[in-house]
Copies of this chain bind each other. A is one copy, B any other.
Amino acid sequence: MPGMKKIIECVPNFSEGRDLEKIDKIVSAFRGKNGVKLLDYQRDEDHNRLVVTVAGDPDALKTALYEAFRMAIDLIDMRRHKGQHPRIGAVDVVPFIPIKNVSMPDTIDISKRVAQHVAETFDLPVFLYEASATRPERCDLANVRKGQFEKMADKLKQPEWEPDFGPKKIHPTAGVTAIGARMPLVAFNVNLDTDNLFIANDIATKVRHVSGGLRYCKGIGVELKEKGLVQVSMNMTDYTKTALYRSFELVKMEARRYGVNVIGSEIIGLVPMAALIDTAVYYMGIENFSIEQVLETRIME
């Protein structure tokens, strides 16, 4: 709708998690920019990786992102990069996420414009992934990343791995970048009153999509040694279609087979307001509720 403020989120991952000076230069591209809000950044020394979370107006975000691309491509040499996390380029992956007054088709469109722009500006091959993917096998980022930076030169020669934008050969120091649109992820864990990892894994198998469970749910069993219990650790990949409460109730239901109880849950990191409101609406059976009734959404507009 015209006049309504659009907000998208962007979570660029950069292949530098150790050199604080370089990290600061990359992050500073998102600082003090009108219309851009730096929400978080985390560096990991073992992964040798920087994950930045920003949100804001799509155009303002694009401008800041291009500055970060230039910084990262100037500062990072993938030929000398080592780290535990799979990676294919200096700017490894850039997901765009619709937050407010932006549809998924809009977000896909934004991701493609950014992909084209950075490919042309930096002579960088770009793969579109997730909801922006142009071939089904490119939806899954793990497929795109397979072979990592070291094997990308060869991979690009295969006709099925021709990049969506940019040259058919890797950028010598910056490699390749994956860009796409996806829904917000919610990291949602459900704790069981047992220390039997087999049970958590078995429940995860039943709840997650890949092995017969809910469409937008990934999951594994995890041991929490300090607490002496296990959890079903889930990634909810589209809470608008697979609600948090549905996976929660399904875990509870499957736990009953073992005489095991759900004793709590946790949400790691950020969660969109609507994912929790949806849960409240379900448990109290609130009829005809509209997100517009939430006071804060009126103030934000």
A274 and B276 alpha carbons, distance in the complex (Å): 10
On whether the beta carbons of B9 and A295 are closer than 8 Å, the reply is yes
On whether the beta carbons of A55 and B276 are closer than 8 Å, the reply is no
On whether the beta carbons of A300 and B298 are closer than 8 Å, the reply is no
On whether the beta carbons of B267 and A293 are closer than 8 Å, the reply is yes
The yes or no answer to A134 lying at the interface (CB within 8 A) is no
Copies of this chain in its oligomeric complex: 2
The yes or no answer to A214 lying at the interface (CB within 8 A) is no
On whether the beta carbons of B264 and A287 are closer than 8 Å, the reply is yes
The yes or no answer to A84 lying at the interface (CB within 8 A) is no
Chain B hits for A260, CB < 8 A: none
On whether the beta carbons of A266 and B279 are closer than 8 Å, the reply is no
Chain B hits for A37, CB < 8 A: 298-299, 301
User: Closest CB of chain B to A165's CB: distance in Å?
Assistant: 29
Partner of A296, one of B244, B264, B265, B273: B273
On whether the beta carbons of A285 and B264 are closer than 8 Å, the reply is yes
Chain B hits for A276, CB < 8 A: 276-277, 280-281, 294
On whether the beta carbons of A284 and B265 are closer than 8 Å, the reply is yes
The yes or no answer to A286 lying at the interface (CB within 8 A) is yes
Partner of A270, one of B39, B245, B287, B293: B293
A245 and B282 alpha carbons, distance in the complex (Å): 12
A-B contact pairs, 29 of them (CB 8 A): A37-B298, A39-B298, A39-B299, A55-B298, A55-B299, A100-B299, A191-B287, A244-B284, A245-B280, A245-B283, A265-B285, A265-B286, A266-B289, A267-B286, A267-B289, A267-B293, A269-B293, A270-B294, A270-B295, A271-B295, A272-B295, A273-B273, A273-B294, A273-B296, A276-B277, A279-B283, A279-B284, A296-B300, A299-B300
